[in-house]
Amino acid sequence: MKHFEFENDKLIVLDQRKLPFEKEYFVCSTYQDVYIAIKDMIIRGAPLIGIVAAYGVVLGFKEIIEKNMDSAKIYEIINYLVSSRPTAVNLFWALERMKKVFEEARNLSQSQIYSLLLQEARKIEDEDKSINKKIGEHGNTLIKEGANILTHCNAGALATGGYGTALGVIREAHFTGKNIHVYVDETRPYLQGARLTAFELSEDGIPNTVICDNMAGYLMKLGKIDCVIVGADRIALNGDTANKIGTYSLSVLAKHHDIPFYIAAPVSTIDFNIKSGSEIPIEERSEDEIRFFNGKKIVPDESKVFNPAFDVTPAENITAIITEKGVVFPPFEENISKLKEK
């Protein structure tokens, strides 16, 4: 089975917190279960969050039918899912699509509405897979033969409908025979790089080396990094980009060492309604993610903990943004606006 699947009116997702050593699945029978899956990072990655939330609407409407409730309760369900995580714009984008389908079909029977909602959720999933492949193809034009690529967090198949965004570019470079090597940041505190990205790369036979987050600058100084490719959770109109905490630091290091810094993300990750990264809400997560490691307390009780899940990389640190509609170069505001027109 893949990392998520909707079947028999249930959404079954791979618990990514347990990888790579345990393969457990979390069954979502209700939209509340979907909320938990997103909130507790059982699943993660901006595109996948959007897909899973769309299926959450489907499960919510199933409950409306079973309990003979007013179809308008769907708005309450959507708003509840919206509150699961604040930064990844794909969540809101997917839920808006689901809401639009409902509003266009609300005069139909509930069974017809359910079918249309399920159809739209599957469409969002299928679109994401083809979008990722296109991102990979466009991004591959930027990768030179024998490149050493640094990536942060996990922007692979596990974070999307399949194939991946940043890892989609890396996969495409590998499968076209470019003889690349990938350096993988551990990505603290959840270790998505060490646990998930290294796992995906190894499964595909892509040579990779895991490093601690604070080693990246040294590798750049040694000339071991040719480019940096990361994903994104939200991109502002001016090109400022929110991604997993630690991305900003990498961008500063890359700029200092004159190394290309690429963002790979679908157009759905661009928030055309905000002008800059200062408007992006940054999620702060539980202190326990820092206080505990592998179930053991590692921080004194007297110490305070600050745990933002994301940071914002300013547009001036970004070489290009790779989307399914092509590679976007500066000036970002002008060229991102053209994407919306397309």
pLDDT tens digits, one per residue of 133-184: 999 999 999 999 999 999 999 999 999 998 999 999 999 999 999 999 999 9
Going from the C-alpha of 25 to that of each of 10, 30, 134, 235, the distances in angstroms are: 12, 15, 29, 31
Angstrom distance (rounded) from CA 163 to CA 159: 9
Angstrom distance (rounded) from CA 152 to CA 191: 10
In the predicted model, what is the mean pLDDT of the chain?
A: 95
In this predicted structure, the answer to whether residue 58 has a pLDDT above a threshold of 90 is: yes
| Rounded average pLDDT over 122-142 | 96
- Enter the DSSP assignment of 144: P
Residue type, 156: G
Span 37-52, pLDDT tens digits: 999 999 999 899 999 9
Q: Are 88 and 233 in contact (CB under 8 A)?
A: yes
Backbone angles phi, psi at 182, to 5 degrees: -115, 130
Span 210-242, pLDDT tens digits: 999 999 999 999 999 999 999 999 999 999 999
- Enter the DSSP assignment of 267: G
SS3 87: coil
| Rounded average pLDDT over 293-311 | 93
pLDDT for position 177:
97
Of the pLDDT bands very low, low, confident and very high (cuts 50, 70, 90), residue 201 is very high
pLDDT for position 89:
86
Express as a percent the part of the chain with pLDDT over 70: 99
Q: Which residue has the tokens 């979390």?
A: 26
Q: Are 163 and 157 in contact (CB under 8 A)?
A: yes
Angstrom distance (rounded) from CA 325 to CA 309: 28
Please report how the helices 89-105 and 73-82 are oriented relative to each other, as an axis angle in degrees rounded to 10: 170
Of residues 185, 233, 240, 311, which has the active-site annotation? Answer: 233
Better-scored residue on pLDDT, 275 or 342 = 275
- Enter the DSSP assignment of 197: I
SS3 190: coil
pLDDT for position 26:
96
Angstrom distance (rounded) from CA 296 to CA 66: 43
Structure tokens that stand for 85 in this block: 């995580």
pLDDT for position 342:
65
Please, what is the Cα angle at 40 between 306 and 161, to 5 degrees? 115
Q: Are 150 and 167 in contact (CB under 8 A)?
A: no
Residue 40 is among the residues annotated as catalytic for this protein: no
Q: Is the peptide bond before 300 cis (omega within 30 degrees of 0)?
A: no
Start-to-end CA distance of the chain, whole Å, equals 36
In this predicted structure, the answer to whether residue 29 has a pLDDT above a threshold of 80 is: yes
Task: Please give the model's pTM, rounded to 2 decimal places.
Answer: 0.91
